[in-house]
Amino acid sequence: MSSSHGSIIGGALSPLEQFLRDYVEASGGMWDEVEPQVYDLMLPARDSDAEPKVVRVAFDPEAIPEHPEAQLASYGTPLVDRLLADAVEHARRVILYVVGLNLAPSGLEDRVRRAVSLPPGFTLEVESVRPLFFPQAAFWFEATFVSDQKEQEILSVAIDLHHGRQVRHLDRLLDRGRLAETPSLPLAETRHPGLASAYPIARDRVFRTLAALANTRQRELVDRLARQLERIGRYYSDLRAEVEEQDRRAQSRGEDSARFKGRLEALYREERVRTAELRQKSQLSVHLRLLNLVEIYQPKLLVGTSASNPARGPSSGATELEWVWDPLVENVEATVCPQCHHPTFELSLTRQGGLACPACAASRAPTTRR
């Protein structure tokens, strides 16, 4: 019953629509797009003797009158909240392998040499090339922005565990045509500090994105609040002007005007209450939680090299440098500076005659982490 005709009519899917499709498929159910933004979901039975459940959901509130049996699928509705909670609860450690990569690229030595910048006179010799599995952890976070309204966004970020760096080409890494549940080659794993080390890096990256999203929303909120406060201020000053006018007329007729004073005070109180409520509702809060995690094992080549200056003789010593060839994007990854451990393609001569990144080589007191 799974079909795809709607995705052409409907254009790009919303993250929620994509999530529901993926969730239903991953949990062994099926989905059928009845019309754009209206689905029949067959959810697998929770207990072995229960029947699978079919629910009709609509992502567009305007479709509900035509499908009165449908539940509205939006963040915060019981159905979607239950599915999201279920997805997290049942999120196992999913492991996938990248297959079909070329692990014997032609001219690898030259490609590494071209990527690297060495001081004059230095040459780079490739000493070893090893294909290894490089684990990358892809995290999906759900960010909830709560103010006078509630909005959610799904944010994804992937971290390469070997270098502890963010993977910039997440879409290519997640290309389903290249992912398999079993490896095509039995390879050893590269050195890495483990999955737990990637989580704080992923969170840090997501926080930066989140800060930008929150700032945009905050600016909109401040603008909206200013407009609403102005409208409320105008409304109450118009009302008070009217009461004051009635008061003047009553006084000119020699009547008691005490009730107008009371009404004016009540209007001031009401305005203060409404203004305070509005300010309260315009506070933005952001909640972040981890929705899902997939570990992707990708074969890459670990290239061991030795950089030295032959003119200075064998006693001058060589600097061992490791490089990684990523066959998915056909690129050399930056190496790690022997002194500060930051990524670099450029190596300069230190005062001690060794090699380090330009910042370390230029610094007066080199950090001697050996």
User: 354 and 319 in contact (C-beta within 8 Å)?
Assistant: yes
> Given the complex with Zn ion, which of 112 and 357 has the nearer CB atom?
357
Q: Of the listed pieces 83-91, 174-182, 346-354, 356-364, which binds Zn ion according to CB under 5 A?
A: 356-364
CB of 275 to Zn ion, least distance (A): 55
Q: For residues 36 and 56, what is the distance between their CA atoms, to the nearest angstrom?
A: 13
Binding region for Zn ion (CB under 5 A) out of 107-115, 158-166, 282-290, 331-339: 331-339
Cα–Cα distance for residue pair 199/94, rounded to 1 Å: 15
Give the end-to-end CA distance of the chain in Å, rounded to a whole number: 61
Q: Kindly tell me which of 147 and 335 has the beta carbon lying closer to Zn ion.
A: 335
Size, binding site for Zn ion by CB under 5 A: 6
**How far is C-alpha 113 from the chain's CA centre?**
34
Least CB distance to Zn ion at residue 164 (A): 16
Q: Which of 232, 278, 340, 349 binds Zn ion (CB under 5 A)?
A: 340
Nearest Cα residue to 6 out of 368, 17, 15 = 17
Nearer residue to Zn ion within complex by CB, 43 or 361: 361
Which positions from 125 through 154 interact with Zn ion, judged by CB under 5 A? Answer: none
Distance, CA of 154 to CA of 134 (rounded, Å): 26
DSSP per residue over 281-296, as a string?
HT--EEEEEEEEEEEE
CB of 365 to Zn ion, least distance (A): 13
Instruction: Check residue 357 for interaction with Zn ion (CB under 5 A).
Output: yes
Count the helices and strands in the chain (H runs, E runs).
Answer: 8, 16
For the bound state, the minimum distance from the C-beta of residue 76 to Zn ion, rounded and expressed in Å, comes to: 48
- Contact present, 189 and 132 (Cβ < 8 Å): yes
Stretch binding Zn ion (CB under 5 A), from 42-50, 215-223, 315-323, 330-338 = 330-338
Mapping DSSP to helix (H, G, I), strand (E, B) and coil, where does residue 347 land?
A: coil
CA dihedral sign, ordered 353, 356, 362, 365? negative
Compute the least distance from the CB of residue 120 to Zn ion, in Å. Answer: 20
Q: Which stretch binds Zn ion (CB under 5 A): 64-72, 231-239, 241-249, 336-344?
A: 336-344
The nearest distance, CB 124 to Zn ion, in angstroms, is: 18
Q: How far apart are CA 134 and CA 324, in angstroms?
A: 10
CA dihedral 358, 363, 365, 368 (to 10 degrees): -20
Least distance from Zn ion to the Cβ atom of residue 352, Å: 13
For tokens 């107008």, what's the residue? 260
Q: Which of 339, 347, 350, 355 binds Zn ion (CB under 5 A)?
A: 339
State which residue, 291 or 340, has the beta carbon closest to Zn ion: 340
Query: Of these, 198, 337, 347, 355, which contacts Zn ion (CB under 5 A)?
Result: 337
Q: Measured from the CB atom, is 140 or 323 closer to Zn ion?
A: 323
Q: At what angle do helices 78-89 and 15-26 cross, to 10 degrees?
A: 50
Is residue 279 within 8 A of residue 134, CB to CB? The reply is: no
Piece of the chain touching Zn ion by CB under 5 A; list 64-72, 194-202, 299-307, 349-357: 349-357
Binding piece for Zn ion, criterion CB under 5 A, among 146-154, 281-289, 322-330, 353-361:
353-361
Closest approach of Zn ion to the CB of residue 356, in Å: 5
Residue 106 in 3-state DSSP? coil
Give the binding site for Zn ion (CB under 5 A): 337, 339-340, 356-357, 360
